[in-house]
């Protein structure tokens, strides 16, 4: 019952989730976006939510380099349960689809060097109608610990949003009290945003490792840009609460499924990395096309996402001409080592590659000389002085994504002017001085 959690509030609500996890944005794979609630294993043997799917994915994550790239969590979303609890009140995995049980599956996942993630709901039912945790919080946490899970996504269907401010912290404290390190993913603010409440992000950041902020992402460019735009429009109240151990979550990566082109997939990977968002794939890794796999395994972009400075980036410039289809944006993230990541995004979905010039002020870049690396490797390394415009050429619904490394302070720009009797001439000389 709800009182179970509320009685704990006086003890737990002032305590942070001190579990030492998610010091950089979590990376992994979840079932939901690609496989949803497919439970008919006779009709869809390769797509149903089952231990076979999870084991197959674990094998591929290791053999195809996803684990080495940083994707360490392997999570089962909704629809893994029997419709009723067992006689002892415990959660029961679907007996046909998970015949070996969750402890055996966890052992298999751990044997591969991966971490095991699971899903439950704070209400009395999950969003798909399976048993939720409400009234069984301690028992369910004990069960998850016995199964040796490493990540728990706690959804928020079938519970009033106003009760989440007390319940989610209390549940997180109970997780912490077990002594097992379990990453805590909350859906707390997403339901409050939907209810037009104002989530207490300071408290959310104190009690959750990551949290879904807004709408569920769907497999389409329209859904992805809607979420991207919402994050840009609300960044002033969101970004300051993100950092090592606690992250805003714009939802799963669509990359490799049916709704995004290659260019659009590049946009999501770039912007999610600027946002310091969890990188949670949800795709059939057995059938993914190589060009999408290349995006997911791009080590330079992953390095931006995982930057240890842990500072969420911002949309620093946008312009709309002739309607929203021609919208251009600049997204910027500060990185360690006096570097920046800059994503130039075009939301126009027609025409030819769009050429544009940006000033350093539009990009929010300090004066200086920069070494520019194209993170998608379409261009070679170039050097750019902030006194000049920055030229880009962006595909429709595409992105140009760069890392800018500022040259040391001893690298100077010398500008000399000479007068003559008849005219003024200007010579600009760039002099690179070595540090002594």
SS (HEC) of the chain: CHHHHHCCHHHHCCCCCCCCCCCCCCEEEECHHHHCCCCCCCCCCCCCCCHHHHHHHHHHHHHCCHHHHCCCEEECCCCCECCCCCCCCCCCECCCCCCCCHHHHHHHHHHCCCEEEEEEECCCECCCCCECCCCCHHHHHHHHHHHCCCEEEEECCCCCHHHHHHHHHHHHHHHHHCCCCCEEEECHHHHHHHCCCCCCHHHHHHHCCEEECCCCCCCCHHHHHHHHHHHHHCHHHHHHHCECCEEEECCCECCCCCCCCHHHHHHHHHHHHHCCCCEEECCCCCCCCHHHHHHHCCHHHHHHHCCCCCCCCEEEEEECCCCHHHCEEEEEEEECCCEEEEEEEECCCCCCCEEEEECHHHHCCCCCEEEEEECCCCCCCEEEECCCCEEEEECCCCEEEEEEEECCCCEEEEEEEEECCCCEEEEEEEEECCCC
Residue 59: active-site member: no
Candidate list 77, 94, 155, 165, residue with the active-site label: 155
Residue 219: active-site member: no
The set of residues, in sequence order, having a beta carbon less than 8 Å from that of 195 and lying 6+ positions away, is: 161
Candidate list 200, 216, 349, 411, residue with the active-site label: 216
Question: Catalytic positions, please?
Answer: 155, 216
């Amino acid at each position: 019952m709800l009182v179970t959690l509320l009685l704990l509030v006086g003890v737990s609500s002032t305590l942070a989730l001190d579990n030492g996890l998610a010091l950089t944005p979590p990376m992994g794979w979840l079932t939901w976006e690609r496989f949803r609630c497919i439970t008919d294993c006779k009709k869809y043997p390769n797509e149903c939510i089952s231990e076979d799917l999870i084991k197959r994915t674990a094998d591929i994550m290791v053999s195809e380099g996803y684990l080495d790239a940083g994707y360490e969590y392997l999570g089962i979303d909704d629809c893994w349960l029997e419709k009723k609890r067992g006689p002892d009140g415990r959660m029961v995995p679907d007996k046909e689809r998970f015949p070996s049980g969750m402890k055996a599956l966890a052992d298999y996942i751990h044997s591969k060097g991966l971490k095991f993630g699971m899903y439950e709901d704070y209400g009395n039912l999950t969003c798909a109608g399976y048993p939720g945790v409400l009234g069984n919080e301690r028992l369910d946490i004990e069960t998850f610990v016995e199964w040796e899970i490493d990540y728990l996504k706690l959804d928020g269907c079938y519970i009033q949003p106003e009760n989440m401010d007390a319940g989610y912290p209390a549940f997180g404290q109970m997780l912490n009290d077990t002594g097992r390190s379990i990453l805590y993913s909350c859906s707390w603010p997403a339901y409050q945003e939907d209810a037009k409440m104002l989530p207490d992000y300071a408290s959310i950041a104190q009690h959750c490792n990551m949290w879904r902020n807004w709408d569920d992402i769907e497999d389409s460019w329209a859904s992805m840009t809607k979420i991207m735009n919402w994050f840009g429009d609300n960044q002033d109240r969101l970004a300051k609460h993100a950092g090592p151990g606690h992250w805003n979550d714009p939802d799963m990566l669509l990359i490799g499924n049916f709704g995004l082109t290659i260019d659009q997939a590049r946009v999501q990977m770039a912007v999610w990395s600027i946002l310091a968002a969890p990188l949670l794939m949800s795709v059939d890794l057995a059938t993914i096309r190589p060009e999408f796999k290349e995006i997911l395994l791009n080590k330079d972009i992953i390095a931006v996402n995982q930057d240890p400075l842990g500072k969420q980036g911002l949309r620093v410039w946008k312009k709309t001409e002739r309607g929203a289809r021609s919208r251009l944006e600049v997204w910027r993230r500060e990185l360690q080592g006096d570097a920046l990541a800059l994503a130039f995004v075009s939301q126009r979905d027609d025409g030819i590659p769009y050429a544009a010039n940006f000033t350093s002020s539009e990009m929010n870049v300090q004066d200086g000389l920069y070494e520019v690396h194209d993170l998608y490797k379409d261009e070679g390394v170039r050097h750019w002085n902030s006194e000049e415009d920055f030229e880009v050429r962006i595909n429709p619904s595409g992105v140009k994504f760069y890392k800018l490394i500022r040259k040391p302070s001893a690298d100077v720009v010398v500008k000399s002017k000479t007068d003559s009797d008849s005219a003024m001439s200007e010579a600009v000389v760039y002099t690179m001085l070595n540090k002594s």
